[in-house]
Amino acid sequence: PDSVSIKPLSWFAPVLSAMSRGVAGALRPLVQAEVPATPAPPVLDPKWPILNQEWLSGQTARQPLVVSVSLNVPASVHYSHTDIKVPDFSDYRHSEVLDKIKSSRESTTAVGFVSSMSASADVLAMSKIKIKLSDIQEGKNMAFKWRGKPLFVCHRTQKETEQEAALELSQLRDPQHVLDRVKKPEWMILIGVCMHLGCVPIANSGDFGGYYCPCHGSHYDVSGRIRKGPAPLNLEVPTYEFTSDDMVIVG
């Protein structure tokens, strides 16, 4: 049976690809390509109506015309090494994604179906916690339940922050500078789960004035960095954001 190879190249669009040799019909194409009475030639390059330097670059001819016709490849004309364009596949694409300006991630059906399987709105809402910072006095450490884990929010004094910053990083098991662990130095937000085996450390205790895990004796400092004991890493710092001077959203 005759097969028509529809290969919409940006160069030689459906009209000529109907004539390009498919397997069975070198002489008799299935669709007799006739030039219409008022010749409106097929648009070669529908992708680029925008006139700008980038599109024009490389378009001028650098070598004489070379015409190439082949048995099973659509015909082409070369005048430069940059004249070979990516074919236009618009015929195969969904109409929703054809608009160049809109992001295709916003409107496709597939994205809609897949995103319905992700977390629902109430679950997403429960994943964040809003904390009012004016409730926490200086030097005090408050614990909140967040995503099933304890969240420590500590309002540190100026003295404490300066003391911490002065420490040599090479002496730490998990070297991390104090300022790398906070966004505002006076607010220390940590997840209160010990990095050893997961107990909840006690605040304002231990040899370094920070946290002390009673299970196996890990001592953390005020910034939550491990100083003594079996834990290998510093206490985890979650992602958070200060929406105003008074409010922080964790998660």
Partner 1 sequence: MKLLTRARSFSRFYSLKVAPKVKATAAPAGARPQPQDLEFTELPNGLVIASLENYAPVSRIGLFIKAGSRYEDSNNLGTTHLLHLASGLTTKGASSFKITHGIEAVGGLLSVTATRENMAYTVECLRGDVDILVEFLLNVTTSPEFRHWEVGDIQPQLKIDKAVAFQNPQTHVIENLHAAAYRNALANSLYCPDYRFGKVTPEELHYFVQNHFTSARMALIGLGVSHPVLKQVAEQFLNMRGGLGLSGAKAKYHGGEIQEQNGDSLVHAALVAESAAAGSAEANAFSVLQHVLGTGPHIKRGSNTTSHLHQVVTKSTHQPFDVSAFNAAAAGDVIKAAYNQVKTIAQGNLSNTDVQTAKNKSLFLAKSRWQQVEIWDIHVLLMSCNVEAHITGKS
Q: Which of 87, 69, 77, 97 is nearest to 8 (CA)?
A: 87
- What token pair was written down for 89? 């596949």
Q: Hey, which residues does 130 pair with through a beta bridge?
A: 249
> Which of 28, 105, 145, 159 is close enough to bind partner 1 by CB under 8 A?
28
- Judged by beta carbon, residue 51 or residue 166, the one nearer partner 1 is 51
Its sign, for the CA torsion 177, 178, 179, 181, is positive
Residues 82-121 that bind partner 1 (CB under 8 A): 82-83
Number of residues that bind partner 1 (CB under 8 A): 50
* 4 touches partner 1 (CB under 8 A): no
Q: Which of 172, 165, 168 is nearest to 186 (CA)?
A: 165
* 71 touches partner 1 (CB under 8 A): yes
> Which of 1, 37, 38, 66 is close enough to bind partner 1 by CB under 8 A?
66
Q: Do 223 and 182 meet the contact criterion of CB atoms below 8 Å apart? A: yes
- Judged by beta carbon, residue 63 or residue 158, the one nearer partner 1 is 63
Q: Is 216 a catalytic residue?
A: yes
Q: Do 46 and 11 meet the contact criterion of CB atoms below 8 Å apart? A: no
Instruction: Provide the binding-site residues for partner 1, judged by CB under 8 A.
Output: 11-13, 15-16, 19, 21, 23-24, 26-28, 32-35, 39, 41-42, 44, 51-73, 75, 77, 79-83
Catalytic residues: 216
